[in-house]
Amino acid sequence: MSSPVVSPQVPTHGLNAVGAVGLLVVSSSPDLRRDLIARLESDHWFVMQSSSGAEALEKIDAGEASLVVLDPSLPDLEVEEFKAIVQQYPGVMVIPINPLTGQPIVATPSPDSICFEVVRKIERGSPLRSGTPISARVTESEDFAQNGLPGFLGMSPSVRRLCSMVHLVAQRDTTVLIMGESGTGKDVVARALHQLGTRRLRPFVVINCAAIPEPLLEAELFGFVKGAFTGAVQSRIGRIHAAHGGTLFLDEIGDLPLSLQSKLLRFLEQGEVQRLGSSDSFRVDVRVIAATNANLRRLVQEHNFREDLYYRLSVFPIELSPLRNRMEDLHLLTEHFLAKFCPHAVVISAEASALLQKHTWPGNVRELRNVIERASILVGQGGTIAPEHIIL
């Protein structure tokens, strides 16, 4: 066996006693961990594993790992929170993977980086050791393995089409309009567009057009100068300006008041913002993503939404399927939420599964999430979710 090799691009944080780079595989799925560890065997690093975010952070804090292969569907820690904590450790690199396939969901790193070698070994899928089980979550086609979306679970034809469309447009600055019923994951798709695009290291700024009272919404969007209105004791930039260089996500765009639609259109056409109480304009470079559960065409016909703004926003429309139209994904989603909400081993009975299958899910994936979270509480320390634990 050759001596361990340490890449000059990897810092001393995360080296074990013999100088090998510490590589940490983090996933709540034991099968996925076994699969990844089998693929990643190498003399160039020392492979460890963690089944939870908390355990992984302990190893990182102890200086045991400088490379982290991360399953984003951790039950105890959101991936963005995990990444934010890891940023406190300079030089620690995180490689997120598709929780369904184990394939990397990041751009290929520089060829002279040890991170590149890790990504290539995961993508190639080195032969497994004899007898190592392969999780059902890592049996999708090679095409889907390369085109999954971070945080969006599913293998149905509609989800595959969605993944394909997102990957096609993610690398461009094209304005995207995401349409779909409440609870279908429009915000997840918006974040995936940002994470897969060229602006992923820049801000992702969200403004919910339905959640902010109309008198305050203009100030939130465009900012204001001191004295512009009562209570404006100091100047402040708006959300549009805060997104400079990154992505602006306009959620529930169908609820944007008519009085502000013309101002938003002017910004989209000219790329400039003017704060309330000021005559100065600022050039702002943002990629705009909008989402709505409303029928914008109908709103246009009813004169409640500007037609020119609608066409400016819908350069690349993406429509999400409701859960009732992709029920083949129900089992996968249920498993994911069980892992997230159940700290102990819990299974769901055939009778309870049948109830889930019969439901029409008007609240879509968000409703399923809530149902499973309630069931995980009601089941207590028991090992099986029964029909009486399913509240629809």
Q: DSSP assignment of 166-217, as one string?
A: HHHHHTS---EEEE--TTS-HHHHHHHHHHTSTTTTS-EEEEETTTS-HHHH
* Domain co-membership, 168 together with 306: yes
Same-domain status, 167 and 84: no
Higher pLDDT, 302 or 19: 302
Cα atoms in the Cβ-side hemisphere of radius 13 Å centred on 203: 16
Looking at the structure, tell me whether residues 315 and 327 fall in a common domain.
Answer: no
Whether pLDDT at 4 is above 60 = no
236-237 vs 247-251, strand pairing mode = unpaired
What band does 139 get if pLDDT is binned at 50, 70 and 90? very low
Amino acid at 285: D
Separation CA 15–CA 63 (nearest Å): 7
CA separation, residue 67 to residues 36, 63, 86, 94 (Å): 14, 11, 11, 6
CA 105 – CA 147 distance, rounded (Å): 8
- Read off the tokens for 194: 């940002």
The answer to whether residues 345 and 303 belong to one domain is no
pLDDT given at position 111: 56
> Do both 304 and 225 map to the same domain?
yes
Q: How confident is the model at residue 93 (pLDDT cuts 50, 70, 90)?
A: confident
Res. 42 pLDDT band, cuts 50 70 90: confident
* 266 and 170 co-located in one domain: yes
Of 217-221, 314-318, 357-361, which range is least confident? 217-221
Assess whether 75 and 92 both reside in one domain: yes
Comparing 290 with 23, which gets the higher pLDDT? 290
CA distance 230 to 302: 35
Decide if 13 is inside a domain: no
Note whether residue 306 is domain-resident: yes
Domain C-terminal end among 319, 335, 356: 319
DSSP H or E segment with residue 365: helix 364-378
* Residue spans of alpha helices (H) in 249-346: 258-270, 296-301, 307-313, 330-341
* Percentage of residues of the chain with pLDDT beyond 70: 82
- The span from the CA of 280 to the CA of 125, in Å, is 55
Q: What is the CA radius of gyration of the chain?
A: 23
pLDDT of residue 79: 67
Please give the pLDDT value at position 214.
85
Residue 145 is predicted with a pLDDT of 39
Domain-embedded: residue 12: no
Do 182 and 93 sit in the same domain of this protein? no
Q: Which pTM value belongs to this model?
A: 0.64
Residue 15 in domain: no
At residue 107, the pLDDT reads 54
Residue 13: is its pLDDT beyond 80? no
Q: What is the pLDDT of residues 209-267, one digit of tens each?
A: 999 988 889 888 998 887 777 776 677 888 999 999 999 999 999 999 998 999 999 99
pLDDT in tens, 181-216: 999 999 999 999 999 999 988 999 999 999 998 888
| CATH at residue 188 | 3.40.50.300
Q: To 10 degrees, the CA torsion angle through 337, 340, 344, 350?
A: 10
pLDDT over 80 (residue 24) = yes
Domain count along the chain: 3
- pLDDT at position 144: 41
Band (101; pLDDT cuts 50, 70, 90): low
Question: Is pLDDT of 82 > 80?
Answer: no
Q: Which domain holds residue 68?
A: 21-136
- What pLDDT score was predicted for residue 146? 47
What CATH number should be reported for the domain holding residue 342? Answer: 1.10.8.60
In this structure, what CATH number is given to the domain that contains residue 130? 3.40.50.2300
Model confidence at 20, in pLDDT bands (50, 70, 90)?
low
- Is the residue at 260 inside a domain? yes
For residue 113, what pLDDT is reported? Answer: 64
In a domain, 5, yes or no: no
Residue 7 lies in a domain: no
How far apart (Å, rounded) are the C-alpha atoms in residues 139 and 134? 8
Distances (CA, A) of 254 to 41, 292, 300, 303, 313: 51, 6, 10, 12, 11
- From 86, 113, 136, give the residue that closes a domain: 136
Judgement on whether residues 170 and 32 belong to the same structural domain of the protein: no
Among 136, 159, 180, the domain-final residue is 136
Residue 390 near residue 355 (C-beta atoms within 8 A): yes
pLDDT mean across residues, the chain: 82
Over residues 142-164, the pLDDT tens digits come to: 334 345 788 888 889 999 999 99
Q: Identify the residue whose tokens are 């890891």.
A: 86
Whether residues 301 and 327 fall in one domain: no
**What pLDDT does 8 receive?**
36
Do 36 and 89 lie in one domain? The reply is yes
Instruction: Determine which of 93-107, 113-127, 274-288, 348-362 has the lowest per-residue pLDDT on average.
Output: 113-127
250 domain residue, yes or no: yes
Residue 341 and residue 309 share a domain: no
